[in-house]
Structure 1
């Protein structure tokens, strides 16, 4: 029976947020009375306001005049005693409510736990999923069973507080809520309740709580600050999660427990390596025992697991096993187990089948991240909206960025007898979802990885561990029979999934962990439980981290933490960031350094510049791979202009910040961001971050004001950065026509790629500071692999073209403006601006598949057009005080010109101009319907796999070309071979702005028709080709052939073995044949009239349910002339029919004359 006392708050009605009454647990009241403490007079909200008010009065609470003559006669009791008045206390009794809770741990198990804790300092509690360990063990530590006659619990709660840690913030509130309301029968957790809670976003705890549930990070910080002695027991729950905070906790406990013999520790998990944990503590001389409830409470597997393409499971009565025909039809449409980009389509199809073939029961799908979850949600909602029986079923995306409140609401929201939850691994543990009957398990997880060799972090999608998958399985089958559908085969699960998840500490930087351990008074280098996947790499990280904190002056020669090291925890910043700000403050450039730090990366160390500058959530600039090539060309020119006067990424972010702050003062930041394709929400968050950074760093400073940015300070910033990042000096090199960098003094060779998105004219031999980098897939050494990409490169010494006032001319004269040109006999200058640039129409091209959009799926469409007025352009030009020099793009000159770009010449900015005769050239193209162009540059990279092509006519007019109009596949290596070539392209159509849309597809089809004729006659044809892409998972190699006219032909070679022998760029001999059977597929939403217009001789043409259109190989326009769809759809079908109509087999690698390395027969 739970008991609480209630009475009226003393300040009732005084404050709006007064809770009205004080509620105190009878257990808490009893302990307070034993200690001689009085009851609180006010509710928690009023108590805090009263405390604040007392502090602000700056007067003694009792104003007693202690004149010595009166001291002897002064009645202290009468004068200093304040009557609290007897308030009417109401006693409230409640009964525990365990209805519907499936708690399998019994009081017998609890008593066994008490006995082991009484005899040992550490107990490892292994308890299967769904036994109630998180809530019931905590409840029984706070309140012993009624028939328990020992004093263990009473002694425990009088020796200090009990603390349970949780890895998820959401669980720190939900678990004490359940314990308080249902198990110990109180009104809920709070400051005067038996149990309280705390996480970074919310707290309700005090010294009066008997128990508190906190995040593992909170307890780690309290232990570091020396507060371990206030606890009598610590329960580390979900220990298998092995986050950095959990491992830091466990490490501190190993060293600190011998100093606190009264302190007991429970390490709890459903899936844990018991022997490993026990050995780690016993090696430190700590008495450790095990309570393995998996021996007596064997996990009740009340669920059936279905692996990919399994047949009927024995004794399973689910929709997939009951109906053999349904099962056959369902699996017939599925091929290989899906990779990440195919998850939305596959998961949505599973969900639809379950919804249609079952009467009740929720569905829980484990996916990889926000974009995949939202795409899956969109597909499901789209498919159920037209079904009256399904349209009201809630489809709820759940991921951490939604916040703990929204996440908790989504887990609890269940208005129907069916719902669909789409989530990440945050639902693996600590959640009991009684209505969930079906789990769809992708087998994937996004896992943080740190590489000490090139000091980059990444979040790749990898296969989960077997233990993690079993946790997911255990989300069903607790209160009723459940069903699990795995999107991988049983063989894959056994052979490709690791048994346990690699602890996060072994794949993270450990600087902060080392400092935490040192701050707690531990001088020796800590060891961690278990072993890393790569011992050499982790040893490298240990060495790097120790060197980093030592060089930073945070520990002394003996390994003890210094005052500077302790200061890190006063100012919650990473050691390196704190050192930068300290030095910048000394040198008077704190404002500039704070701006740079906020502009270069987020608070979570996600880069904003360089390779990540177009990142949807964090990047400083806007780019959308869905745009047409014409839109991309216009935006590229604007972004290039923004770089004017910038020698590196440091210059660029400071320039961008100055521009933003200037327009922000006049309230024109939204217009400016649109015109310059700058990511306004990110810039706004940057300066919010800068404000927070200033509040943290300047917490004790008298003057917290922020002055304007001073460009002169940039040279000082370079010196400071060189001092702090002294181990990050890199040298620029050229390799495979790419700019790469290698660490100066390192023996490992190339570390990463310098993408074109990094600002600066980098040349081979240049030296720079690598401030930030990230991992992305790219081609190097003939392989496409994850490789480091620079995000922020800073020159060691600034050239004469350093950022200064005239570097902002691009903000006064806009790219595309029509101008008059003045010739003084020596140089050309801009006379005046005649017209503003033409309107930029932001157009979106063909619909890309989800694989290409995964990182940008949540991006919103940009404004359809960006316009500048002639008046605004002229006003901006009038603000320039000095003449602006210009240079001609080629030999042509005229009195009127168009501004096409900016360059630095002799340390000063020059406008690049061309005669304004573009209309004449376009008119000529219209008449001839063909044009000869030079391929100037192919823009493709990890940030835009589709890319675009910059071409130039013989008159030097720039035109854009879609990569998909130059070849059938989204090639990278192959398309680059076209740079510098002249091609004759046909005109498909003209855009609304009058620009031609150029294509080489008709020539490609014509060449393939010739090859098909030869194959028809000779059965096979052999061609010399080059390898463009190697897909290990699908066992496909894409090869391409370029003829003398620049026509690119692509073929897919299905190689079952020896893929590792090939490299991208290899010359190979391939044998081409025709596919004997099969057909092509395209996914389209077709109306009934469109289906009717399909050619009559096509069998199994359109599957309405799956939106799948089947069609034969080798189509031409004539066969599709009556099909009533857009021309773009027809063109895609023709491309696919020719692209997949051929078989290719690689015969051998072609060996260059004089080179015998790598020759091989296949």
Structure 2
């Protein structure tokens, strides 16, 4: 195996780390920083006083790099080298002994390290913390940067912090850490020829397909890495490329295999991309931006860059996420091109003109902390119980907007995670210990009080796994034409959370038979993953609960309104900030008033309207996302009597007090208006309706008029 460039700098790295508490290491693509830096420090004795933690912003990277390092050290994964990601910790009792006696290398996601710091704020088990791939500027990594800045000053025992990246602005980070040292490690990049399109493509999937086939037919051997925006595009590309390759004239070119690579793939499919191609065979790897820097795939000579990436963005003024396909930055484009020069000179086919790269691409990607909901991060900071932390003045490398922080504080206050003075509550501390978003954590706590924790655990497991267990729409339509649809439950009219519970309950009653999943067009892997997540959540909540909890795996109970009332009430308490009102059905969609606008319930929802087309006055939702239009996804009906206590909390809300800082009182009017409008309507119907009321009333009248003509 070739000597990686970073090994030539071993003495300089160790000398710099010995002399400085914080070091920024800029290692070019191919330098070996992710796999070798931890081993260098391990050889030089840093694991004698504690573990070395290496964080990764992506779960796939944490697992794959840990596997590689364990292989290089000749140890079993989970012993000297292990990994920890959400809902999976590859360690054992034997590992813990080795951690204490001999030290270990531990790869983990940045989120896992944050959760570990809750029980041990000084992270005393670690002698070195390496924040790898920091240029991706994930939300958790940015929080960790702020915490590491505090920790190196306050921890009683010695701590070394290394921030590593291929493209990070090292001067900016050094300035943030009071002028810490910067090391630059070159990589072994061969020259890469960049080939631009003459015009902007209108369909990057078709353009990528055409380019891939041209490479396969005309270019010498070498693997091809194709960047797509997401799983849907990857699936299309893999299917079309396999079909077109099979239709090529036999003997006209070498064999080929097509492999997908994205975060939702099971581990056994992810590792296939790290195995070399068979003789006289070319590999096509179709990947998301996970392959830009987080993972290195050897053998790539050709890169096809579509110029786009799928990005989630949160608008705190509307509480809405959008999942947008946006242009990449110049940093990302250069990272993608660099993947073609690892083993020999390569080519990067950019499916956009050079003028677009120069004039339209941003210099660097917008940090996630500036385009995400911050409720979970603010809850974490509050739970650290540091008296001098003012959330609105916390030391971030790139601060989020004040509006985003205020939005997070409001969310936490409404679900009882913090009190009116911004102090974390007992409920908030329990929420912070659960590896869930705040709404689901609060739901579980309320469910335990109401005696429906077992059911709430199921719903939380399904939603936190970030997968859907409903049949696909295409399969549903196909089956509808041929035969009656499957016997999947319908949510009893109360909505999607109840249906998710009922589906899992049906599987439980079928003794978790995998054939039952197949018969109902449900993904076996997804269902099994939900079951595993539920089991782990059950173990976590039993560990942290002070009183008795009921987390039985069996879900036997009767169907009906009363059986779901407690669960719906728990959901209302958990989703207190995610409330919408005044709904009806018109023009084929469920439509509702939300923050002075009309938003529609996603067409896949099972929430039912009454015979007049009127839906419940109040619902809670899991996610508000703007795709083709604003949609609420995973919606559940709730009662007015459950909503009123939350409305009362809005009467005196001061974001400066919630933050932990002092200042002039500032009542949170936007959020107050959102919910208080509904309270006013209930209390005094004689008041003049607002614009949303008028639109909804007009829509309902049109619906009833059409119904009368039938």
Counterpart in 1 of 2:255?
392
Relative to 1, partners in 2 of residues 1:572 and 1:376: Cα closer, same or farther, differing over 3 Å?
closer
User: For 1:406, what is the secondary structure of its paired residue?
Assistant: helix
Residues 1:491 and 2:337 aligned together: no
CA apart distance, 1:644: 9.9
User: For 1:447, what is the secondary structure of its paired residue?
Assistant: strand
Relative to 1, partners in 2 of residues 1:237 and 1:209: Cα closer, same or farther, differing over 3 Å?
farther
Relative to 1, partners in 2 of residues 1:116 and 1:740: Cα closer, same or farther, differing over 3 Å?
same
Q: Is the 8 A contact 2:582 2:617 kept in 1?
A: yes
Relative to 1, partners in 2 of residues 1:633 and 1:739: Cα closer, same or farther, differing over 3 Å?
farther
Residue 375 of structure 1: which of 222, 225, 236 is its match? Answer: 236
Counterpart in 2 of 1:475?
339
Q: Is the 8 A contact 2:127 2:160 kept in 1?
A: yes
Q: Is the 8 A contact 2:51 2:99 kept in 1?
A: no
Cα deviation 1:982-1036 (Å, max 9, x = unaligned): 9xxxxxxxxxxxxxxxxxxxxxxxxxxxxxxxxxxxxxxxxxxxxxxxxxxxxxx
Residues 1:219 and 2:113 aligned together: yes
Aligned-partner Cα distance in 2 for 1:196–1:381: 36
CA apart distance, 1:671: 11
CA apart distance, 1:597: 4.7
Counterpart in 2 of 1:263?
159
Matches within 5 A, 1:13-24: none
Cα deviation 1:821-875 (Å, max 9, x = unaligned): xxxxxxxxxxxxxxxxxxxxxxxxxxxxxxxxxxxxxxxxxxxxxxxxxxxxxxx
Aligned-partner Cα distance in 2 for 1:655–1:669: 18
Aligned-partner Cα distance in 1 for 2:10–2:508: 66
Aligned-partner Cα distance in 1 for 2:449–2:298: 59
CA apart distance, 1:688: 6.5
Cα deviation 1:51-108 (Å, max 9, x = unaligned): xxxxxxxxxxxxxxxxxxxxxxxxxxxxxxxxxxxxxxxxxxxxxxxx424x33464x
Counterpart in 1 of 2:660?
none
Residues 1:420 and 2:248 aligned together: no
Q: Provide the TM-score with structure 1 as the length reference.
A: 0.48
Aligned-partner Cα distance in 1 for 2:571–2:517: 34
CA apart distance, 1:794: 0.8
Matches within 5 A, 1:30-179: 99-101=1-3, 103-105=4-6, 107=8, 109-143=9-43, 153=44, 156=46, 158-172=48-62, 175=65
Residue 545 of structure 1: which of 400, 408, 416 is its match? Answer: 408
Relative to 1, partners in 2 of residues 1:687 and 1:116: Cα closer, same or farther, differing over 3 Å?
closer
Relative to 1, partners in 2 of residues 1:776 and 1:624: Cα closer, same or farther, differing over 3 Å?
farther
Residues 1:249 and 2:144 aligned together: yes
Residue 181 of structure 2: which of 277, 289, 294 is its match? Answer: 289
Aligned-partner Cα distance in 1 for 2:550–2:150: 42
Aligned-partner Cα distance in 2 for 1:619–1:665: 17
Counterpart in 2 of 1:509?
373
Aligned-partner Cα distance in 2 for 1:278–1:503: 17
User: For 2:234, what is the secondary structure of its paired residue?
Assistant: helix
Relative to 1, partners in 2 of residues 1:117 and 1:474: Cα closer, same or farther, differing over 3 Å?
same
Relative to 1, partners in 2 of residues 1:491 and 1:453: Cα closer, same or farther, differing over 3 Å?
same
Relative to 1, partners in 2 of residues 1:476 and 1:209: Cα closer, same or farther, differing over 3 Å?
farther
Relative to 1, partners in 2 of residues 1:654 and 1:671: Cα closer, same or farther, differing over 3 Å?
closer
CA apart distance, 1:518: 3.1
Q: Is the 8 A contact 2:507 2:517 kept in 1?
A: no
Compare the two structures and name the one with the higher helix fraction.
2
CA apart distance, 1:252: 1.6
Residues 1:742 and 2:590 aligned together: no
Q: Is the 8 A contact 2:256 2:283 kept in 1?
A: yes
Residues 1:752 and 2:599 aligned together: yes
Counterpart in 2 of 1:945?
none
Q: Is the 8 A contact 1:381 1:395 kept in 2?
A: yes
Residues 1:769 and 2:619 aligned together: yes
User: For 2:343, what is the secondary structure of its paired residue?
Assistant: coil
Matches within 5 A, 1:544-943: 544-555=407-418, 559-594=422-457, 597=460, 602-605=463-466, 618=468, 620-621=470-471, 623-624=473-474, 627=477, 631=480, 646=493, 648-649=495-496, 660=506, 664=510, 670=516, 693-698=537-542, 701=548, 704-705=551-552, 706=554, 708-710=556-558, 711=560, 712-732=562-582, 740-743=591-594, 746=595, 749-750=596-597, 752-755=599-602, 757-758=604-605, 759-761=607-609, 767-778=617-628, 786-796=629-639
CA apart distance, 1:696: 4.3
Residues 1:275 and 2:164 aligned together: no
Relative to 1, partners in 2 of residues 1:591 and 1:159: Cα closer, same or farther, differing over 3 Å?
closer
Counterpart in 2 of 1:352?
213
Aligned-partner Cα distance in 2 for 1:432–1:397: 14
Relative to 1, partners in 2 of residues 1:437 and 1:594: Cα closer, same or farther, differing over 3 Å?
closer
Whichever of the two has the greater Rg, that structure is: 1
Aligned-partner Cα distance in 1 for 2:300–2:27: 22
Aligned-partner Cα distance in 2 for 1:157–1:696: 29
Aligned-partner Cα distance in 1 for 2:223–2:140: 33
Structure 2 gaps of 5+ residues are 642-702
Residue 101 of structure 2: which of 208, 211, 223 is its match? Answer: 208
Structure 1 gaps of 5+ residues are 1-98, 144-152, 310-334, 607-617, 779-785, 799-975, 983-1162
Counterpart in 2 of 1:449?
313
CA apart distance, 1:479: 3.2
* Greater relative contact order (CA < 8 Å, ≥ 6 in sequence): 2
Kindly tell me the number of residue pairs found equivalent between the two proteins: 619
CA apart distance, 1:772: 2.3
Aligned-partner Cα distance in 2 for 1:653–1:642: 9
Counterpart in 2 of 1:19?
none
Q: Is the 8 A contact 1:555 1:561 kept in 2?
A: yes
Aligned-partner Cα distance in 1 for 2:326–2:274: 26
Aligned-partner Cα distance in 2 for 1:644–1:217: 33
Counterpart in 1 of 2:689?
none
Relative to 1, partners in 2 of residues 1:574 and 1:709: Cα closer, same or farther, differing over 3 Å?
farther
User: For 1:429, what is the secondary structure of its paired residue?
Assistant: coil
User: For 2:582, what is the secondary structure of its paired residue?
Assistant: strand
Cα deviation 1:1079-1100 (Å, max 9, x = unaligned): xxxxxxxxxxxxxxxxxxxxxx
User: For 1:131, what is the secondary structure of its paired residue?
Assistant: coil
Q: Is the 8 A contact 1:307 1:487 kept in 2?
A: yes
Matches within 5 A, 1:762-1161: 767-778=617-628, 786-796=629-639
CA apart distance, 1:305: 0.4
User: For 2:463, what is the secondary structure of its paired residue?
Assistant: coil
Q: Is the 8 A contact 1:434 1:478 kept in 2?
A: yes
Compare the two structures and name the one with the higher strand fraction.
1
C-alpha RMSD of the superposition: 4.1
Cα deviation 1:187-218 (Å, max 9, x = unaligned): 3466775x655553534662234451412333
Aligned-partner Cα distance in 2 for 1:588–1:407: 40
Q: Is the 8 A contact 2:16 2:23 kept in 1?
A: yes
Cα deviation 1:228-271 (Å, max 9, x = unaligned): 23333222121101222322321221222211272121111111
Cα deviation 1:647-703 (Å, max 9, x = unaligned): 655666666677x369737999959966xx888987787667655554544457586
Aligned-partner Cα distance in 2 for 1:181–1:708: 46
Q: Is the 8 A contact 2:568 2:636 kept in 1?
A: no
Cα deviation 1:943-982 (Å, max 9, x = unaligned): xxxxxxxxxxxxxxxxxxxxxxxxxxxxxxxxx9xx99x9
CA apart distance, 1:483: 0.6
Q: Provide the TM-score with structure 2 as the length reference.
A: 0.75
User: For 2:101, what is the secondary structure of its paired residue?
Assistant: coil
CA apart distance, 1:639: 9.6
User: For 1:130, what is the secondary structure of its paired residue?
Assistant: coil
Aligned-partner Cα distance in 1 for 2:413–2:508: 41
User: For 2:29, what is the secondary structure of its paired residue?
Assistant: coil
